[in-house]
Amino acid sequence: MKVRLDSQTTAHQDLGPAIHVRGLEKSYKKLEVLRGVDFDVARGSIFALLGSNGAGKTTVVKILSTLLNADAGTVSVNGFDVATQAAAVRGSISLTGQFAAVDEIVNGRENLVLVAKLRRVKDPGRIADELLDRFGLTDAAARKVSTYSGGMRRRLDVAMSLIGNPLVIFLDEPTTGLDPQARIEVWRTVKELAEHGTTVLLTTQQLDEAEQLADQIAILHEGRIIVNGTLSKLKQLLPPAKVEYIEKLPTLEDVFFAIVGDDGNNRDDVARTASSARTQKESR
């Protein structure tokens, strides 16, 4: 689902983080999905929220983008409270949901022009053409979206989210289903956005994606953020390998499985799980 922006709300110029989340809780009937989620995202940074299937990543994104109400906790985006200032939040963000929200019955260019008009940007046609070119969709611009491949729809969806230069962009699994070239294009776009001051929160299950892109990486597991930090900080959670066993530095994947593996669901287990994983590897 894509949040449509009715107007570009004036930025809230406080010096706090772009996204502030404290004590966030959400249950679906008896299923407690979020059990006290806390994190901050600095302005102009890229924040990757990692987690297994069903961890609650999309639930977090929906709450932060005002599509879903939380049961408890405080969330502000661009200084606006998602519960009490939802319209102002929507005016300063854009969301590319996990499943593409493009209009199938019109063509690619018309989708972009429509969003540009809704967001009241100047010269919608020119903006649409620039984005079509940037995402390699110029040749398909006049074709109905119903004829697009999954990757093309995804690229169009991401392109639509850039219209109007929102201050914060939420991308829920932005590269799922993309071929390597399109994936790199999305990565490049995300990096460019952050360089120009946009704050990006993305979810992913692809650990290399978080490694490539994120200034900060948080792992959501069993309803809470169990690790949150830079890539180098996350790698430090593993004990340094003895020199005779080092073939390569631990990857983020090693960190992830050490933390959320079968019996390693908290920080105290990290070292033990990691060291046992390494021992098993060595004995193979």
Ligand X SMILES: Nc1ncnc2c1ncn2[C@@H]1O[C@H](COP(=O)(O)OP(=O)(O)OP(=O)(O)O)[C@@H](O)[C@H]1O
Per CB under 6 A, residues contacting ligand X are 28, 31, 33, 51, 53-59, 98, 205
Kindly state the smallest distance separating residue 71's Cβ from ligand X, in Å: 13
For residue 28, the partner it binds in ligand X, Mg ion, none, with Cβ less than 5 to 8 A by kind, is ligand X
Instruction: Please identify which residue in 52, 98, 206, 275 interacts with Mg ion, judged by CB under 5 A.
Output: 98
Kindly state the smallest distance separating residue 220's Cβ from ligand X, in Å: 7
**Cβ atoms 124, 110 nearer than 8 A:** no
Kindly state the smallest distance separating residue 68's Cβ from Mg ion, in Å: 12
- The C-alpha atoms of residue 182 and residue 97 are separated, in whole angstroms, by 17
Q: What element of type H or E holds 168?
A: strand 168-172
State in Å, rounded, how far the first CA of the chain is from the last one: 46
Number of residues lying near Mg ion (CB under 5 A):
3
- Tokens representing 266 are 């908290």
For residue 55, the partner it binds in ligand X, Mg ion, none, with Cβ less than 5 to 8 A by kind, is ligand X
SS3 percent helix, strand, coil of the chain, rounded to 5, is 40, 20, 40
For residue 214, the partner it binds in ligand X, Mg ion, none, with Cβ less than 5 to 8 A by kind, is none
Q: Which amino acid is at 148?
A: Y
Nearer to ligand X, 99 or 245 (CB): 99
58 touches Mg ion by CB under 5 A: yes
For residue 37, the partner it binds in ligand X, Mg ion, none, with Cβ less than 5 to 8 A by kind, is none
Nearest residue to Mg ion, by Cβ distance, number only: 58
**Cβ atoms 37, 223 nearer than 8 A:** yes
204 touches Mg ion by CB under 5 A: no
Question: Measuring CA to CA, which residue among 11, 132, 26, 173 is closest to residue 77?
Answer: 11
Question: Measuring CA to CA, which residue among 202, 189, 123 is closest to residue 162?
Answer: 189
The one segment of 57-65, 82-90, 108-116, 122-130 that binds Mg ion by CB under 5 A? 57-65
